[in-house]
Amino acid sequence: MDTKNIGLAVTGSFCTFQKLLPQVEKLKQKYKNIRPIFSYAVSSTDTRFYKAKDFWNDMVKITGNIPIASIVDAEPIGPQKLLDLLIIAPCTGNTLAKLCNGVTDTPVLMAAKAHLRNDSPVLIALSTNDGLSANAKNIGELIARKNIYFAPFAQDNYINKKFSLVADFDLLVDAAEAALQGKQLQPVLKGV
């Protein structure tokens, strides 16, 4: 088992949680320490997809770690060099835009800021309804930035949601391995 420390920052694309959890189990099989980090929405919002408490408990059960759920608790990630890789999965368009523009108002964004200050990799697994509209420019800017990598993504429903993009969560472990080596898993844009 690899001894690298992996941060798993989860934002509020609640409809992808069922795709995410099996990948968290695979990450845990490969990496000894998976540290969950929750946005405020993930920590507190009950949806038709998941109750906040149930998701919290499932993540603790899989990772063996209690999620970081405050900006104060996320800040030491940088100065203490707690992580080798930070994965933001799913990464909403809101989080993506804030990350691109240097906004740090959630535990996930503080974790990213703190981790990037160490010149360390961040892997983004998109799940956004505006990836091919308002957030297209942010994807373009982030994909060109040092230490930012993307899990391969595609349109998830080009007929009914023509601007929506979602990562291929089945490639999350492979994308993590590539990011740890300073490489972008290819192809980053998947066909339909």
Q: Is residue 183 over pLDDT 70?
A: yes
Radius of gyration of the chain (CA): 15
In which band, very low, low, confident or very high, does the pLDDT at 192 lie, cut at 50, 70 and 90? low
Each domain of the chain, given as residue ranges in start order, spans 2-180
pLDDT band at 191 (very low <50, low <70, confident <90, very high): confident
* Residue 161 in this model has a pLDDT that exceeds 60: yes
* CA count, 13 A, side-chain hemisphere, 68: 26
59-92 CB burial, b ≥16 within 10 A, e <16: beebbeeebbbebeebbebbeeebbbbbbbbbbb
Type and span of the H or E element at 36: strand 31-38
Query: Average pLDDT, stretch 152-158?
Result: 92
How confident is the model over 74-89, as a mean pLDDT?
97
Query: Which tokens sit at 118?
Result: 């160490």
What's the predicted TM-score (pTM) here?
0.97
Q: Strands 122-128, 85-91: parallel, antiparallel or unpaired by DSSP?
A: parallel
pLDDT at 1 over 90: no
What is the CATH code of the structural domain delimited by 2-180? Answer: 3.40.50.1950
Q: Which helix (H) or strand (E) holds 3?
A: strand 2-10
